[in-house]
């Protein structure tokens, strides 16, 4: 779902003085959450817009949303972080913003590096369907991407797919294989707020369709040692994800939020010729993760911090 910000809300937000955020460990501090909410909810139609956003992410049939903030980005993008504070305020209406990477600030840059593995988030190739931090016992509930600059050559469409819908299209024997702890991917070190390493892990967190994470990353098919049967079941799932995918181009100021308990995401390849684009003009996204309150099934440590 694409969500436009009402004109009267846009006008009010341009002049809204949100303070710089504070962190409590990896999480946005409670004092900042309260300050942002107090200021934002006083703006006309903010509560309505936030409710629409939450419903798109967690309501029946939902799982992702794109908040169209392009006008605010143009008005505030160069003004000492004010735009990013507004986006953080919107994010905090969904769940608690946090950074699992102690080496990075709350928002992490994802630029374009032509010499990087093409399938990585900062590469130039096809980034196949995956969930972020797939091998943590507590993956982020929501993964979010703010588009600062799209690919000026027209590539890099975002792709999303309903993971649980894809699972329901699989035969029962394939679902049984995906529910076995036979899969592994990636390294796990120097991380905050995502639990412990889960190795190996099942792709299906729950036997009930529509429940839990679908812990999938297509990269495990090439970079993990899997039995023929387990690899085959994962490939079937990958095919169904592609079959059900939606794709769209993020524009400057678009804020994509993905409910990782429902949808997986990825990216089509960037257009050829990235080497000719100055680094400062290449596609740039900012990444932020969100943790749902403990009452919504997330970590007890979050509950202890924010109750």
pLDDT, position 206 = 73
pLDDT, position 181 = 95
Which residues have CB under 8 Å from 19's CB, separation 6+? Answer: 32, 35, 85
Q: Is the peptide bond before 221 cis (omega within 30 degrees of 0)?
A: no
CA-to-CA separations, 276 to 153, 183, 210, 273, in angstroms, rounded:
10, 39, 44, 6
The whole-angstrom separation of Cα 125 and Cα 132 is 18
pLDDT, position 209 = 64
pLDDT, position 66 = 98
Question: What SS3 class is residue 231?
Answer: helix
Structural domains present in the chain: 2-306 (3.60.130.10)
Cβ(178)–Cβ(203) below 8 Å: yes
Closest CA to 256 of 140, 156, 158, 162: 158
pLDDT, position 202 = 96
E strands, the chain, in order: 2-4, 23-24, 27-28, 64-68, 96-98, 108-110, 127-130, 142-149, 158-162, 246-248, 254-259, 263-267, 284-291
pLDDT, position 211 = 73
User: Please, what are the averages of pLDDT over each run of 10 residues along the chain (307 residues)?
Assistant: 96 94 96 97 98 96 96 84 96 98 93 92 95 96 97 96 97 96 91 94 81 92 89 97 98 97 97 94 97 61 39
pLDDT, position 162 = 98
């Amino acid at each position: 779902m694409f969500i436009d910000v009402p004109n009267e809300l846009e006008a009010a937000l341009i002049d809204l003085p949100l303070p710089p955020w504070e962190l409590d460990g990896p999480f946005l501090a409670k004092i900042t959450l309260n300050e942002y909410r107090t200021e934002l909810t006083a703006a006309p139609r903010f509560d309505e817009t936030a409710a629409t956003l939450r419903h798109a992410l967690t309501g029946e049939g939902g799982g992702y949303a794109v908040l169209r903030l392009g006008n605010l980005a143009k008005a505030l993008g160069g003004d000492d972080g004010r735009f990013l504070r507004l986006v953080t305020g919107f994010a905090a209406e969904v769940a608690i913003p946090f950074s699992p990477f102690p080496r990075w600030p709350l928002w992490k840059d994802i630029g374009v590096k032509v010499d990087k593995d093409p399938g990585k988030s900062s590469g130039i190739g096809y980034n196949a369907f995956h969930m972020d931090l797939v091998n943590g016992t507590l993956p982020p509930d929501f993964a979010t991407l703010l588009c600062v600059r799209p690919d000026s050559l027209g590539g890099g469409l975002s792709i999303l797919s309903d993971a649980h819908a894809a699972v329901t299209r699989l035969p029962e024997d394939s679902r049984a294989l995906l529910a076995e702890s036979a899969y592994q991917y990636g390294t796990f070190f120097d991380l905050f707020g995502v639990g412990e390493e889960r190795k190996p892990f099942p792709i299906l967190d729950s036997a009930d369709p529509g429940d839990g994470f679908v812990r999938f990353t297509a990269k495990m098919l090439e970079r993990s040692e899997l039995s023929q049967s387990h690899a085959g079941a994962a490939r079937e799932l990958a095919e169904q994800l592609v079959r059900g995918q939606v794709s769209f181009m993020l524009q400057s100021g678009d804020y994509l939020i993905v409910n990782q308990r429902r949808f997986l995401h990825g990216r089509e390849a960037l257009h050829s010729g990235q080497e000719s684009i100055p680094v400062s003009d290449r596609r740039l996204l900012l990444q932020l993760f969100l943790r749902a309150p403990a009452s919504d099934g997330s970590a007890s440590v979050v509950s202890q911090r924010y109750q």
